[in-house]
Structure 1
Amino acid sequence: MQQPAILNELRRMSARVGNNILLVQGAGGNSSIKHGDVLWVKASGTWLADAEAKDIFVPISLSGARMALAAGNERMPLAPRHGETALRASIEASLHALLPHPVVLHVHSVNTIAWSVRSDATDDLAARLHGLSWRRLDYRHPGLPLAHAVSQISAQGDVDVLVLGNHGLVVGAESCETAEALVKDVEQRLALQPRDGAVGHQGRVHHLCVGTDYREPQHPLCHSLATDPQNLAIATAGSLYPDHVVFLGSALPTLAQGESLANTRRAEVEGLPPPVAVLVPGRGAVIRKDASPGAEAMLTCLALVASRLPLNAAIRYLSSHDEQALLNWDAERYRQQMTSDRGSDRPVHNEAGG
C-alpha cells in the first residue's frame, strides 16, 4: 500500500530532531503520526537521524494497539494491507498509541533530563513551564507501565507536555510543525548552562589504552566525566536514565592510580563483561574499542547531563530494581542489537547538533 504524504513530514521533522544531540542520542527517542487507523511509529533500534535516508517507521493498527493495551498486551499489531516488516515498533509505541494527539514526539533532551533527575526542582520547573499544558511524572519503566501512567494523566484533561522522571520529554501536537515548535519552546524554557569547569578537553589517557581493548572516546566532552570532580561524583554514584543503564551499565567504574586497563580482562575470566567505559580520575575517559555507536552517544549524553546539574542538586538515581528490569528486558536487548548492527559510520555530533 502507498504510504501517506504526511509520513514525509514526520520523516523530515524526525531527521532534524535526531541530528541534535541535545535532544536525541543514538537510537534514543521516537516519533509517530496517526493517519486514520494507522499509527506510523519509529522502529525500535533505529535512529531518528536516519529518518529521511532509511525506512524507519512501522505501520501499526491504532485500534488494534489500543485494544491490546487495554488487555495488558504490549505487542503491537501491524496495520492490515501494509505488508510484512522485519522491524519492531518502538519500545514506546504503546505511549504513542494511547496519547490522543495526531503527532507525538519523545526526545531524551539533556536539559529536560537534568531537571527530571532532581528531587528539588519542582518549583523551578513549574515557574519555567508556566502557561503550558504540562505534567511531571515520577520514573516508570518504559513501555506499558509508562504508557498506563500517561493514559491516566490524559484522562484527567488535555496535556501536551510531559516531563518524564529520569527519562526525558514527550510532547503531543496537531502537526509535525507544531510538535517540533513545542519541543523548541520547552527547550528554551528549560535551558541550562554547563557548570564552569565542566567542559571537555583532550584527555591524558591515550598511553593508557595502548595494548588494551580501550580507546579514547570521539567527543572530547566525555573526558569531563573524569576531569570535573562533580561530574565524576555523579557518573560513579549510579544511573540516571534508562539508556544510561542499557548502554553503559550502572555507575561507571574508575581506574585506580597505578592500575592498568588490561586488568579489566579479569572480569571476562570471572564471567563478567568488561566495563563499556572507564573513568581515570583527573585524566579522562576511555571506551571499549568494540562499543556500539549507541554506547558512544550515551557516554557523550551523560557528560552533557552531568555538566548541567548544579553542585547542590538533590539527584535521584534509578534503583537497582529499575536497573535490573531494564537489563533483563527482551525489548531492550533487541534494541541494543539493532543499534550495534547499524555500524559505526556516523560521527558523534557536537552540542549544537552538527
Structure 2
Amino acid sequence: MTHPMAANSEFQALNAFSATLGQNSDRTQAAGGNTSLKHDGAMWIKASGTWLAHALERDIMVPVVLADFLAALADKDPRAETAVDFVDQARNSLNLRPSIETSVHAVIPHAVVAHIHCVETLAHAVQPGCEAEIARRFATLGDVASAFVPYCRPGVPLSEEILARSTPATNVLILGNHGLVVSGASVAEVEDRLNRVCQALALPHRPAQEADLGKLAAIVAGTNYRLPANPIVHGVALDPVSAGHVRGGSLYPDHVVFLGPGVIETDDIAAGEAIRKPEAKDGPPPMLVLPGLGIVLHRRTTTAADALALCLWNVASRLPAGAAIQRLTPEQDYQLTHWEAEKYRQALDAKAKAS
C-alpha cells in the first residue's frame, strides 16, 4: 500500500532525518526519541515502540488530528494521555499507536519537532544548576531560543510544564534528567540546529577500561544473565568515577524502562537476581553491576537493554569527578515502571524479540 504521505518531500526528509538520529547511539537509543511533522491538520509522529533507526525501512509514523487533540489537552481530557482516540485511523493502516510524547510535540507550535536522548545533553541535564553552563554554551548560537524544563513525568505532565516555561519563539528545550527537544519550520532547519546544539553541549569523556571478558563469561555461565553486546559498557563498573555517578538512583527515564530503577551492585549473580526494588516492575533485575568486573544483562532482555547500557556508560563517562548529580526519586521511578504507556512500549519490545 502506498503511504498517504509518500509523495511529500518534507515527510521524506523527516524519515531520513529520523533514521540518521536513530542510527547514532550518541543521539538516541533503541525505541527512545521521537520526531514529528505537522501538515494539513495532522501531526505525523513516531509510533510508540518503534525505532527512529527504522524510519527508512518501515512505516513508523502515525497521524494525529491536531486540532482535536489540542482541544482535549486544553480540556484535560484523560484520553489525551495515550492520544489513541485522536489518530486519523483512515491513514493508519498498520494500527500504530502514537508516541508517549505526542502531547509534547503537539503543544510546540513549530512544524517540525525532534526529541532525542542525546548523551551530551543528558550529561548536563542530570547536574543540578546546569542552566547557567548551558546558556553560556548557547551564547554564540544566535538562532537558539532555549528554555530549561525541570524533570517531570513524560507525556501530558511534561507538555504542561513546557507550556508554562516556554514561549512561541522557543526552539530548544533542555529537559532535566530527560533529554533535548529541538523545533523549527522545516526538517532542514531542525537538523542543522540540533547538530549545532549537540556540538555546543559536547563534553570530554573518560576512556573505558578493558574488562576481563573470559572471567565474566565464566561468571555468567549457567546463570540467567549474559554479557552485553558492546564490551565498552563494562566501564560503568570498572571506572570508579562513573560507578559513583550511577550509584544511588536513576538518571533518566529510558534507563528505568529498559534497565530497571537505578543500578543493583552485587558480587553474586544469584543474590542480585533475587533483589526486588519496591519501585521496580515484577521480575528479576534486567541489569546487574559486578563491582570491579563489569555488567551483566538478564537473558530475557532485548537489544534495547544493550543500547541503554551503552547510553549509561556514555553519560556517566562524561560526568566529571566530584559532579553533583540530580537523580530520579523512587516515586518517579515507580511512575515510569507502572505507567500503562511504558508497559505498552515494553510489551512491543518483548514481542519484537520473540518474533
TM-score under structure 2 length normalisation: 0.90
Give the AA of the match of 1:41: I
What is aligned with 1:348?
Answer: none
1:71 aligned onto 2:83: no
Counterpart for residue 106 of structure 1: 115
Matches within 5 A, 1:172-211: 172-195=183-206, 197-199=207-209, 201=211, 203=213, 204-211=215-222
Change in Cα spacing, 1:306 to 1:84, as seen in structure 2 (3 Å) is same
Identical counterparts, % of pairs: 38
Note the 1:1-354 alignment, pairs <5 A. Answer: 2-3=4-5, 4-5=7-8, 6-73=10-77, 74=80, 75-76=82-83, 77-79=86-88, 81-130=90-139, 131=142, 132-154=144-166, 156-195=167-206, 197-199=207-209, 201=211, 203=213, 204-256=215-267, 259=268, 261-264=269-272, 266=274, 273-343=283-353
What SS does the aligned partner of 2:326 have?
coil
Q: What does residue 351 of structure 1 align with?
A: none
Q: Distance in 1 between matches of 2:282 and 2:112?
A: 42
Between the aligned partners of 1:95 and 1:278, the Cα distance in structure 2 is 33
Is contact 1:138–1:165 with CA below 8 Å preserved after alignment? yes
State the 1:83 CA deviation.
4.7
Whether the aligned pair in 2 keeps the contact of 1:199 and 1:307 (CA below 8 Å) is no
Deviations along 1:188-235, one digit per CA (max 9) or x if unpaired, are 10001112x545655441110010011110111210011011111222
1:165 Cα offset (Å): 0.2
Structure 1 residues 86 and 323, CA gap change in structure 2 (3 angstroms): same
What is the Cα-based RMSD across aligned positions, in Å?
Answer: 2.1
TM-score relative to the length of structure 1:
0.90
**CA distance in 2 between partners of 1:218 and 1:344 (Å):** 18
Are 2:108 and 2:168, in contact at CA under 8 Å, matched by a contact in 1?
Answer: no
For residue 71 of structure 2, what is the amino acid of its counterpart? M
Question: C-alpha separation between the residues in 1 aligned to 2:159 and 2:218?
Answer: 47
- Tell me the distance in 2 between the aligned counterparts of 1:144 and 1:283: 41
**For the residues of structure 2 that align with 1:18 and 1:202, how far apart are their CA atoms?**
30
Corresponding letter in the other structure for 1:125: I
Q: Which residue of 2 aligns with 1:352?
A: none
- Following the alignment from structure 1 to structure 2, what is the Cα–Cα distance between the partners of residues 141 and 202? 39
Tell me, which stretches of 5 or more residues in structure 1 are unaligned? 346-354
2:211–2:293 CA contact under 8 A, matched in 1: no
> Distance in 2 between the 1:265 and 1:309 partners?
28
- Match of 2:353, SS state, is coil
Q: 1:164 corresponds to which letter in structure 2?
A: L
Aligned partners of 2:106 and 2:55: how far apart in 1?
Answer: 20
Distance 1:292 1:43 in 2: 19
Tell me if the contact between 2:37 and 2:45 (Cα under 8 Å) persists in the aligned partners: yes
**Deviations along 1:133-185, whole A, 9 cap, x unmatched?**
1011110110001111112233x341000000000000001111111111100
Q: Which runs of 5+ in 2 are unaligned?
A: none
Q: For residues 99 and 200 of structure 1, do their structure 2 counterparts lie closer, same or farther at Cα, with a shift above 3 Å needed?
A: farther
Q: Which has the higher relative contact order, 1 or 2, with Cα contacts under 8 A spaced 6 or more apart?
A: 1
- Give the direction of change, closer, same or farther, for the CA distance of 1:191–1:201 in structure 2 (3 Å limit): farther
